[in-house]
Amino acid sequence: MTYLHKAATFATAATMMAATLITPVFAAAAAADDADGLLEAGDLGLDQIRKEAGFGKKSIYATVGDIIKIALTLVGIIAIVLVIYGGFKWMTAGGSEEKVDEAKKILYSGAIGLVIIFSAYALTTFVLGTLIKATGAEGFTGI
């Protein structure tokens, strides 16, 4: 399967999923508009749907920041597990140079991964914090 074929398949699947998830929102907004006529021009009734669904009123920046924090936390856990696994492998190498070298590579990879994760977290916190201050949005607390 070529790269272009994979990309086209992914794009098609993503579009179909998005259409499936977004269509009920537009239908509900149209039904609300027809029912009482209280919607303003251009309003899709999303605020009413948000209230009925029980969602909070966080900015998109705060939501993206929370998603990034969760993803970085999961990747950080994987990196720490790699470091622990490398240390365990080194301790159980029994003096074998091959096993020690393999354990060092695992430890080195885990340490580099942790540095990248901490850098990504710091950069994300800085960028989202700056965007929120610049736009006046609220909800992202950073660290």
Q: What percent of the chain has pLDDT over 90?
A: 27
Q: Mention every residue, 6+ apart, whose C-beta is less than 8 A from residue 82.
A: 106, 107, 109, 110, 113
The string of pLDDT tens digits covering residues 17-63 is 666 666 555 555 555 544 555 555 555 666 777 777 777 777 677 77
User: Model-level pTM?
Assistant: 0.54
H helices of the chain, where? 3-36, 46-53, 60-91, 97-135
Residue pointed to by tokens 């149209």:
30
Q: How confident is the prediction for the chain on average, in pLDDT?
A: 77
Q: Which backbone phi and psi does 33 adopt, to 5 degrees?
A: -65, -40
Most confident of the following: 18-22, 62-66, 117-121: 117-121
